[in-house]
Amino acid sequence: MLYWICYRTALVVEEIVRSHSVVPATIGVIDGKIHVGLTSSQLDQLADPEEPKVKISCRDLPVACSKGLSGGTTVSGTLFIANSVNIKIFVTGGMGGVHRHGNISFDISSDLTQLSRTPVGVVSSGIKSILDIPRTLELLETLGITVVTFGPSKEFPAFFTPKSGCYVDNNMETPLDCARLLDANARQETNSGLLIAVPIPTDVACEGLAVEDAIQVALKEADTSNVTGKEVTPFILKRVNELTKGESLKANIALIKNNASVGSKIANELSQLRQYPCETRHFIPPMQNLTTPSNYQPVIVGGSIIDIVVKAKTTPITREGTIPGSLWSCDGGVGRNIAEYLARRDCNPLLVSVVGEDENGGKIKRRLTELKMSTRGILVKEGASTASYCVVLEESGEVHCGIGDLEINKHLTVDWVKQFSTVPPSFLCFDANIPIHVITYICNTFSQYNTPIWFEPTCVRNSVKPITSGVIDKITYASPNLSELHCMHNSLVENEKQAPPLNVSNLEDIINTVLSLSDPLLYNGMQNLLVTLGTHGLMYVTKDEALLYPSAPSGYPVSILNVSGAGDCLVGGVISSLLEGHSIDASIKIGLLSAHTSLRSSETVAIPNQTDFGDWMKVESIICKRK
């Protein structure tokens, strides 16, 4: 396709997927980094013919990543990446297969072997009609890959046309039938993929004989021009388009759109089968239904604290006499709270922390055991007191003041953390209460595994630790509030470029301030900033985009019982959702819902009801433009 056609088609296909309340996760490789879910600027970069790109199959991924190359992934490459992040439905135009005269040349696409060992459902218009369809179907059977057609007919489609003259044993007439097939395949743990062949709509199909004649001409030209290997398919498709005067390209675009629609409907049906609301736009089985190797569990390094919460029943809080109120205590600590959230979302986290050999330390360990979490990461320090924090809340639920004894955190050492860094985790999150030399160690160590690293600043004073330790470029995600962001910015830039004290009130000023404070951090290597703005919501900022998310859906009831733990639930919600395969957009919405649920609960960690997901998934973010 021409650049502008390719780019426009990609955008339209994503919109079709979104229209079915499903999140599109377009896959590509940019500058040696694998991306699952692309921004419009990244799509533009991959489509731009002026930018050097390569065709990347599964075998090419190590080369592309090590050399910093960019390119689109083939079916085999996309299958591998999709499965690695638990995406179980993959929509494409056509599969690769056995090339014509493949019985002599042994030119067979790796798409087939990759599908045989990757439990992902592929929705396509069969295989490309320039290939040998009968021999491809024979090989699919040999490899043990289930092949079905979609619709009333068992005739296998021929990409540009709905008919090939070849038949398969089974057809699925509805998206629900396909979802049941995918679910059964997953439950039986065949570890093999499925091919769902969707015929192109007849009103946009090409005349079969004319396409076949064009293919024969193109094949002869490829042979005469000595076109071989991965260049054969694009050469032939280009010539077929020319020979059919553009009709094959129109059909190609139409079938891709149709496949996206069918695949999205299957995703929604699969979501319902697995009792996960369609409104979440998430069609992957919940984490508890997956087998996750222990060495791929998320690791949380941070504080474990006993929280003492005091809430006044009058306003304002004065020094005159005893103030009526309520008091309660619970397990807390930023790291511990995030780990509890992930455990209750069945993400199997490992908490690396330190407690004292006292009653409170024993209480924290017992709670971890109740959550079915391992306590092997908990260092019990003899002679030290478990950290504690007393927070005084206004009647409104806002923090009046807080006093903490966090001295024990200095006993969390590199030597203790080292024993948990020998295998790559699926995610690393650390809070800034831990010593700076531990932050330096874990960031340098886990970044070598290409592990996503999340930094939670905890307070203004601690927010600068990754900057002063020189590991800012290792941070994938950070979640400061506006004051913490201001401090991080000023610790990074030269004196004359430092931002003045914060003095913002209206939303426009807040947005502009966030953007100006974020840029130096992003251009020094930090990748994603999630800046919490209280009642104004959250801003998600990267080099490429800036989005403002409201704190709650319009008209949604807002009541504050307890602000302690809301930020930790936000982080836990985003991380758990990313681990389950959500896009960053959906993950932020689930994180905001989790924070909102915590605000209305006396518990520090509160998990939202799935019935609330629908309203929050409909929240629209606002694009914020840099000046």
Per residue in 394-444, pLDDT (tens digit) is 887 777 888 989 899 999 999 999 988 877 888 999 999 999 999 999 999
Whether residue 360 is predicted with pLDDT greater than 80 in this model: the reply is yes
Whether residue 219 is predicted with pLDDT greater than 60 in this model: the reply is yes
Class of 294-412 in CATH: alpha beta
Token pair recorded at residue 75:
């079916």
Confidence band for 206, pLDDT divided at 50, 70 and 90: low
Rounded-to-integer distance, Cα 166 and Cα 543, Å: 50
DSSP SS3 for 542 = coil
pLDDT, one tens digit per residue, over 138-167 is 989 999 999 999 999 999 998 878 888 899
pLDDT at residue 164 in the model: 85
pLDDT at residue 217 in the model: 85
pLDDT at residue 282 in the model: 32
pLDDT at residue 212 in the model: 66
**Picking from 98-107, 121-130, 489-498, which range would have the lowest pLDDT averaged per residue?**
98-107
Cα 402 to its chain centre, rounded Å, is 35
Confidence band for 562, pLDDT divided at 50, 70 and 90: low
Residue with tokens 């914060």: 502
Whether residue 523 is predicted with pLDDT greater than 90 in this model: the reply is yes
Residues of the chain with CATH 3.40.1790.10: 3-285
Rounded-to-integer distance, Cα 444 and Cα 431, Å: 16
Confidence band for 363, pLDDT divided at 50, 70 and 90: very high
pLDDT at residue 580 in the model: 84
pLDDT at residue 465 in the model: 96
Whether residue 337 is predicted with pLDDT greater than 50 in this model: the reply is yes
pLDDT at residue 237 in the model: 74
Rounded-to-integer distance, Cα 320 and Cα 483, Å: 31
Count Cβ atoms below 10 Å from residue 501 Cβ, excluding itself: 6
Whether residue 611 is predicted with pLDDT greater than 80 in this model: the reply is no
pLDDT at residue 283 in the model: 31
pLDDT at residue 230 in the model: 66
Whether residue 374 is predicted with pLDDT greater than 50 in this model: the reply is yes
Exposed e or buried b per residue across 438-475, where buried means at least 16 C-beta atoms within 10 angstroms of its C-beta: bbbbbbebbbeeebbbbbbbbbeebbbbbbebebbebb
Q: Domain 3-285 belongs to what architecture?
A: 3-Layer(aba) Sandwich (3.40)
Residues of the chain with CATH 3.40.1190.20: 294-412
Q: Name residue 541's amino acid.
A: V
Residue with tokens 């290997």: 229
Cis peptide before 316 (omega within 30 of 0): yes
**Picking from 25-29, 515-519, 555-559, 588-592, which range would have the lowest pLDDT averaged per residue?**
555-559
pLDDT at residue 127 in the model: 84
pLDDT at residue 557 in the model: 67
Q: Which residue has the higher pLDDT, 603 or 13?
A: 13
Whether residue 11 is predicted with pLDDT greater than 90 in this model: the reply is no
pLDDT at residue 284 in the model: 31
